[in-house]
Amino acid sequence: MLHKISLGISDIDRYRRVCHRELIDEVVSLGEELKGLRLCHINSTPFGGGVAELLVSFIPLLRGLGISADWQVIRGDHRFFTITKGLHNALQGAPFEAIKKESIRRAYLANNLANARELDTDYDVFIINDPQPAALRHFLPDHNSAKWIWRCHVDSSQPYDMVWNFLRPYIEGHDAAVFTTREFVPKDLCLARIATMAPAICAFTSKNMFIERELCRQLLENLGFDRSRPIITQVSRFDRWKDPFGTIAAYRMAKKKVPGLQLAMIGSFAQDDPESGDMYAAINTEANKDGDMFIYSNLTGMGNMEVNAFQRASDVVVQKSIREGFGLVVAEALWKETPVVAGNAGGIPLQMTGGLSDYLVDSIEECAEKIVFLLYHPEVCHRLGEEGKRIVTKNFLIPRLIRDELRLIKSLLGG
């Protein structure tokens, strides 16, 4: 059998302190209507990346609502995850010529078949996350009573044609597909039900719980930072779409106008991302040239609490993505009332509306300019911090996402 992630039960009522009562009441009502529903999320890694980050909080809250929710993780070797990383990149528009090879297609499908044979199928609804397990449904044709939903977490608005033509029949075998925004839906996808819902963060995890900023600055000082000088931070996977070298270039430009500026780059490794090691090594090479630049990862003691501290203690958080499905780290920083300078890409503009939209950037030069402006205008940082927290509280906390998913499931089950 596939590995099931061991998780507990969490109470949605704690969100009554931060969310509108009407939202929590609706979530509780949906839970009562769907009580006993057997629901299973499936993805390709238990750690590192936004999907795992979401499910750690999402599944316990569903269980607290009376839904029998589980999370299963597929297996794969290095070759399989190298292929699926290519598929992942191709959904975001990058070429992946290897998909022309019959051996590559066979390897992908053989892995999905092997995982389908080990899948616990005793569920009413399956939610398949991203391309890695997208063909599972194809290999379970007799399991017709369950509803199958494919959830795309990347910007698939302009996918690489050959890869999309390969994946599309397997995706269209699902009962519904979910995208972050309508713009991400490929134009030729033919499904009776296509829904949009943005991801969300959990306010009460160790990554997002409240910590005094002074304590956070002390933690950074213990790691070698000079707390008397400004600090900017980028938190993301070690992935080319996050444009880490663009962030480094913007930092170097900004430092010419803000002497003593310090940069923290915090990344994560995931077992389904074989490219991350090379990226980490290349970023480390750059960091070794600058005593004010620090690189951390989830393999070197940088856990959720430490990320929380960095996002709260930093003067500015940078997320210079050039492709982005959503960017949970943007919502995390905004929740902590830290100003964000971010790439004008994918799902990031959903979060940075109103005055925050002035800090969406399209170039390294613009990124550096915005960083410098904020560092010299703390009153603007304060205003943006307050506005950011209001936006996240209203739109991007996890009860809203639970509501959206349960509404979709209810409609698929016939209301």
Question: Is the dihedral angle over the CA atoms 156, 157, 163, 166 positive or is it negative?
Answer: positive
Q: HSE on the CB side for 297, CA within 13 Å? A: 18
- Taking CB atoms within 8 Å and a gap of at least 24, the contacts of 18-25 are 18/203, 18/393, 18/397, 19/393, 19/397, 19/399, 19/400, 23/399, 23/400, 23/403, 24/399
Average confidence (pLDDT) over 186-209 = 97
What per-residue confidence (pLDDT) applies to 143? 67
CA distances 304 to 208, 249, 324, 367, Å, are 8, 26, 21, 26
Instruction: Kindly report the pTM of this predicted structure.
Output: 0.95
Summarize pLDDT for 121-160 with one digit per residue, the tens.
999 999 999 999 999 999 998 767 899 999 999 999 999 9
pLDDT reading at 221 higher than 70: yes
What per-residue confidence (pLDDT) applies to 301? 83
Question: Is the dihedral angle over the CA atoms 311, 180, 115, 279 positive or is it negative?
Answer: negative
Band of residue 250 on the pLDDT scale cut at 50, 70, 90? very high
User: Greater confidence, 341 or 278?
Assistant: 341
Share of the chain above pLDDT 70, in %: 99
Classify domain 213-395 by CATH number. 3.40.50.2000
Band of residue 50 on the pLDDT scale cut at 50, 70, 90? confident
> What residues does CATH 3.40.50.2000 cover in the chain?
3-200+397-412, 213-395
DSSP 226-264: -TTS-EEEEEEES-GGG-HHHHHHHHHHHHTTSTT-EEE
Summarize pLDDT for 82-119 with one digit per residue, the tens.
999 999 999 999 999 999 999 999 999 999 999 999 99
Classify domain 3-200+397-412 by CATH number. 3.40.50.2000
CA distances 87 to 61, 164, 182, 233, 259, Å, are 31, 9, 21, 29, 42
For residue 263, list its beta bridge partners.
Answer: 232, 293
What per-residue confidence (pLDDT) applies to 270? 78
Band of residue 275 on the pLDDT scale cut at 50, 70, 90? confident
